[in-house]
Every structure is written in structure tokens, then in C-alpha cells.
Structure 1
């Protein structure tokens, strides 16, 4: 016994540090891969900057974004008004800044709502199987058979023109993408040994979904969500452009571009700056989403 105990002790001592260092080593490897992708870092920088401006915009605006000054209407960019003014003299720089609260928050809210509902529904469908699974997936196929923008406009028009209704319409249209992704991942996990053992010990389906399935399908869902934020911002701006999103006097980027199209030939800045905000924000989120997908993809060496 005395000869074996030191060997066992040394074995435990040697194994413990290796196990404890694995998560740290994996994160270091991923951080190194992230640092080698300049486009992903650029997307991350844009995303953080946009979120920071969104949170701090009430304290950064130099003018009241809704203050009307007809004497200063349609002025070109200057030191007094960095982005110029609109048709009633409102400062466009202030409106673009405060508009980030509407546009970016709409994209984030859509992704949170659609991702949460779609992920739970997809995992539930994959775990249950049978007729219920078939009914859920046929419903998702019907929704996917209609072009996303057309279905979004129809739902937004039926609900009424407002930013909240536009967000709800976009979220409903994006749910099937998360359902299909979560269900596909669940079907791959359903026949794993630990899932079979959990069922043998009498675990409920809800326990399987919340405790085992969701944890394992989370990485691809996070990647899908990061890519969908840019898409949701563009769709919210599109609905605002055609009058189904935010209404006056709310500062929203798509609605500002729509209002400025009547003055595009002479007062180019009216539509240009809100349009640039949409372009830069959507590009930043998409770049970061693409980099995150490459980072978490097992085929690319991310795991």
C-alpha cells in the first residue's frame, strides 16, 4: 500500500492541472485566432462603438433632436450642424445619434425574441418527434416558402405602422430559421449515449431540453443571432423607409432616409448620413458574425 499510494498521488497531481488548464488553453487559442482576423476585429470594434453610442447618445447629442427651427431648415453640414439639418431645421447629427436607440435596439430585440422562441420550439420539436414534430416543421416550411420581406411587410401592415409592430413582424419571420437550426442540432444529439442515459434515469423532456440540448446547440445559435442582428436592422430600416416602421417625430434611420429622398438631388446629406449609419452598423455586425462562425466552426479549427 505504501508503494502504491505515492504513485496514485502523483497521478492525481499530474492530471489535475491538465484538466484545469484546458478551458483556459481553449480560450487562449480562440483569442489568438480572433486576433489574426482583421475583419472580425474591425466588426467587433464597429459593434462596440455603435452599442456605446446607442447607450450614451442622450448625453452626446449637441441639440434637441426634435427641436424645430424653420430658420435653419435644410442647411448643409457645418460646425453648427455637423450633418446638416432637415426640412424643419432639426439637427441631423443629433437625430442620427438618438436614432441608434431605435434602429440598433430594434435589431437586438428582434434577435432576442426570435432566437429565444425559435430555439425552444426547435429543440422541443426535435426531442418530441413524431406527428408534433412534423406539424411544427410543416408550419415552418410554409412560412419559409414566402419571401421574408414580403411576409414581413404583410404582417407589419396588418398590425399597423409602428416600430413595435415592425419589430414583432420581423421577429415572427425570423423564427423559422432558428427552429430549423435548433431542430437539426437536436436530432444529432438525441441519439448520443448521455441523452439515452438521461432518459433511462427518468428525466423529463423539459429537463432534456433546458439542461442538455440547449447547452449543446447554443454555439451555432449564437452565430446565427450575431448574423441576424445586421439583417434585422436592415429590415427595420426598410419598413421605416416604406412607412410601416417608426413614425414621425421618432428619429429612426430608415424613416430619415425615406424623408430625405425628396431632397436627394440638392440636399444630399439628409439621406446620406442616416444611410451611412445603417450601412456601417449592418456591416460591423455581419463582419463579427462571420468571424464568430469561423471561430466556432469545428472544420475551421475553432474548437
Structure 2
């Protein structure tokens, strides 16, 4: 009589269990759903901006300058007669794209540098972290303004300046997670079998630190949009005639007492977009880090 090894059946977790968890979190925090809705709408506006603009955002019509909101011009016109609704919609491509690009650059470089620093240790780790500490010792806005001024006023240079300033936050987060992982048994086993540092970082470390990094990135998008608008407001971001929300608010401040719509609508676009991304990021933190809210 042959003996057979009976293995317990493997129960697969149904896919809809994750959807149930997402639905439970959304029901518990409806602001997460609200933030996700705002984020989806702004991303759709960014993608389809050329289709959604009823008029040319750069078309000058001096006879229609500084007109109040009406059926012909939903958000009114600016000092040279350009349609503000078209410019706000077109400006989403600059502001939202700038926030996404900043987070992508800073998150990618900062995560790799932080994981490398935590894995290597020693003198290289000390040098990298001291450089990050020096950058963090300077107020973020001041350092961003200095870098943007040194590079020259343009939206691309403003994005690079903001990305450089945000890198230390990802470095510290990735390094802290890496230090917790580097001494775990499966990491030691991988080293025993001859795994290289790059293999450990790409195959083991990055996969385990991805959740907090994604949460940090989602929360940083709103901050990056606000910083890009700030640089545009002081003249270090997008230049005329490019439609950008911060620059539009800056141009409208000279007319704010009589033509309130000039600054109000671009300012509301900045506020709504940043709020939506922040609400969604907060909900994403609840979803990926259940311990963060006492669950």
C-alpha cells in the first residue's frame, strides 16, 4: 500500500475581496471618493484640453478686454480679450502635468538613491544623507526659488527645481524602509546565493517599499502643483503667452478689485485640484497602510 502525501487545499482569495475592501474604505471615508472624482476629472481635462477649449486660449481681442463672465465667455476675459475659460482649461495641461512630472522625477531618483544608500551603508550612506540634510535645512520654497532663478524663468526649469527640492523626502523614506528590510532572513538568503546589490534593490527592496512611496507621491502631487503655481506667480515659471494658473493669478492681481474673475477662476482651479489630489492621497494611505489609522 503506497503512502500518499495529502496536501491541504490552497484557498485562493477571490479578486473581488480587494474590491470589497476598497469599497469599505470608500464608504468609511467618502472624501476619498470625492478626491478621486476630482482627480479623474482634472486628468480628463488635462488630456482633452484642446477639445474642451471653446476658443483659442491665446487669441487677442482688444475690443473684448476685461469683460465679466457671460454666456459667450463663461469665465470672462483678461486684459487683452483672451477667453479665460479656454485659458484655465489649457492651463491644466501645464499645471497638472508639471505636478505629475515633478513627482515622477523626484520619486524615481529619490527612491533609487534612498534604496542604494540603505543597502550600501558606510561612508557612501553618510555622504548621501548629509547632503539630504543640508537640502532639508533650507526652507523648500526658498531653495526652489533660488534654483529656478539660477536655471532661468521657464516652466521646465521650474519643474526641475521643484523636483530637486522634493528628492530628499523620497530618499529618507526609501532609506528608512530599506534599513528595516536589509537584515530580514530572505535578504540574507539572497545574499548567500550570490545576489548582487542591484538585484536585491530591484527585486526585493523596491517591491516592499513601493506602498509608502506611492502614498508619498500621491500626496506630493498637490504640493508640486501649488509650488509650480507659486513660481508662476512670481514670474519664475511659465512665461507669456503660455496659459498657466499661477501666472494667470499673478496677472489678475492688478485688476482684482474691479475684475475679480480674472484671478478667482484660476485660483479656484489651483485650490480644487490640489485638494482633490490630497484627499485621494490620504485615502490611498488608508488603503495601503491599514495600521496608519488604527485598523
TM range (shorter): over 0.9
| Contact 1:294-1:302 within 8 A present in 2 as well | no
Task: Indicate which of 69, 74, 78 corresponds to 2:70.
Answer: 78
Q: Matches of residues 207-226 of structure 1 in structure 2 within 5 Å?
A: 207-226=199-218
Which residue of structure 2 lines up, in the alignment, with residue 89 of structure 1?
A: 81
Deviations 1:221-271 (A, max 9, x none): 000000000000000000000000000000000000000000000000000
Deviation at 1:43, TM superposition (A): 0.3
1:51 aligns with 2:37: no
Instruction: Give the match for residue 174 of structure 2.
Output: 182
Residue aligning to 1:229: 221
TM-score, normalised via structure 2 length? 0.97
Query: Residue 267 of structure 1 aligns to a residue in which SS?
Result: coil
Aligned mate of 1:277, from 269, 278, 282:
269
* Helix, strand or coil at the partner of 2:48: helix
Match of 2:253 in 1: 261
* Aligned-partner Cα distance in 1 for 2:179–2:58: 52
Equivalent in the alignment of 1:31: 23
In the alignment, what sits opposite 2:156?
A: 164
CA deviation after TM superposition for structure 1 residue 24, in Å: 5.0
The answer as to 2:136 corresponding to 1:144 is yes
Unmatched 5+ stretches in structure 2: none
Provide the secondary structure at the position in 1 that maps to 2:22.
helix
Matching of residue 100 in structure 1 with residue 92 in structure 2: yes
Task: Please give the root-mean-square deviation of Cα atoms over the aligned residues, in Å.
Answer: 1.5
Cα offset for 1:52? 0.4
**Deviation string, structure 1 residues 109-152 (Cα, Å, up to 9, x no partner):** 00000000000000000000011000000000000000000000
Q: CA deviation at 1:220?
A: 0.1
Query: Structure 1 236/301 Cα, relative in aligned 2: closer, same or farther at 3 Å?
Result: closer
Q: Deviations over 1:23-80 (max 9, x none)?
A: 6534532332233311000000000000001111100111000000000000000000
Tell me how far apart the structure 2 counterparts of residues 183 and 204 of structure 1 sit (CA, whole Å): 18
Specify the SS of the correspondent of 1:155: helix
The answer on 1:251 being equivalent to 2:251 is no
Partner of 2:194: helix, strand, or coil?
coil
What is the TM-score of this pair, normalised by structure 1? 0.94
Aligned 8 A contact 1:34 1:295 in 2: no
Q: How many residues are matched?
A: 295
Distance 1:177 1:256 in 2: 30
